[in-house]
Amino acid sequence: MVNSENFIERLEEILRYYDLSASGFADRIKVQRSSISHLLSGRNKPSLEFVMKLVDTFPEVDLYWVLKGEGRFPASKKSSIKVAAPVPKVVVPASASVVPDEKVEAPTPMTEEAIDRIVIFYKDGSFKSYQG
């Protein structure tokens, strides 16, 4: 669960880092200005949609840092984990006859750019996000 007081402090730190007003920040991440006001005042807690817009818009903001205060801000460049789609193996049974002139091609794997982010949600409400 997100500690609202600490989240507000981290949100204020982000505003200072980018030298943005609350309304300018709201415009950048495409949320209503009142949403930022309500978050900063402690009236509302951040939604998952808000947090995802924040980390998508500002790559220096680490997901775990903004939610739990773990890690650092601005986030250091991490070694990115690239997950490529598995290439299916073509298996030809020994009993099958193969025509020598026929060329069998494996399907083209997805490019690295195809996957932007993988988010795993756990039953306890926590989640992990892996960005390509």
Residue 25 burial (C-beta neighbours within 10 Å; 0-12, 13-18, 19+):
buried
Does the structure show a pLDDT above 70 at 122? Answer: yes
In a domain, 122, yes or no: no
Report the share of the chain in percent with pLDDT over 90: 28
The answer to whether residues 53 and 39 touch, using CB atoms and an 8 Å cutoff, is: no
In a domain, 55, yes or no: yes
Quick one: how far is CA 14 from the chain centroid?
17
pLDDT of residue 64: 87
Secondary structure of residue 108 in the 3-state scheme: coil
Q: Which range has highest mean pLDDT (47-61, 62-76, 101-115)?
A: 47-61
Q: How many residues does the chain have?
A: 132
Secondary structure of residue 109 in the 3-state scheme: coil
Based on the structure, what is the number of domains in the chain?
1
In a domain, 73, yes or no: yes
CATH value at residue 42: 1.10.260.40
pLDDT of residue 76: 65
State pTM to two decimals. 0.55
Question: If pLDDT is split at 50, 70 and 90, which confidence band does 119 have?
Answer: confident
In a domain, 12, yes or no: yes
Residue 84 burial (C-beta neighbours within 10 Å; 0-12, 13-18, 19+):
exposed
In a domain, 95, yes or no: no
101: its two tokens: 């002139």
Question: What is the residue range of 38's domain?
Answer: 4-77
Question: If pLDDT is split at 50, 70 and 90, which confidence band does 81 have?
Answer: very low
In a domain, 121, yes or no: no
Q: Catalogue the E-assigned strands of the chain.
A: 117-121, 127-131
